[in-house]
Amino acid sequence: MSLYQIMYISTVVGTVTPQQCAAIAQLSAINNQRDDVTGLLLFNSRRFLQVLEGPKAAVDRIFARIHADPRHRAVVKLREGPIATREFGQWAMAYDDPARPSDSLKNTVAALLEQAGPSTRAHFTGSADLHRPAA
């Protein structure tokens, strides 16, 4: 099976609560497992940064659904194309709740990215670094 990957960033429209984000992630995990799609999602209450990987038809279908979702605006593909191997063996999500910021977000994301390529790691750790709470 050939694998395909899309990385995108988008801005949330309105407010997504931690509970709504968790519900979205849970439903996505079920659907993605069914469709053999893996990846990583980082949401910091303002922006989504996500990598989707798996069969091209499934990745394209999920991305089209995300692009049409009214909760997203300014959806920008950062990278897309065929990949030799998956960077993420399981669906993973890191969430930075502004009401209860996590000092360990950067470390959490880094642990999830151990198998990712350098470009993917740079996007996610840079985003986590920008959005972690001030000391």
Find the farthest-apart pair of alpha carbons in the chain and give their distance in angstroms, rounded. 46
Q: Is 18 exposed, middle or buried (0-12, 13-18, 19+ CB in 10 A)?
A: middle
pLDDT digits (tens, 9 = 90+) for 97-129: 555 656 666 666 677 777 788 888 777 766 655
Look up the pTM and report it: 0.79
- Where are the domains positioned within the chain? 3-131
Q: What string of DSSP letters covers 31-46? A: HHHHTT-EEEEEE-SS
pLDDT beyond 70 at 33: yes
3-131 under CATH 3.10.150.10, yes or no: no
Structure tokens at 56: 């091209």
pLDDT digits (tens, 9 = 90+) for 39-92: 888 887 788 889 999 999 999 999 999 999 999 999 999 999 999 998 877 666
Residue of higher predicted confidence among 133 and 129? 129
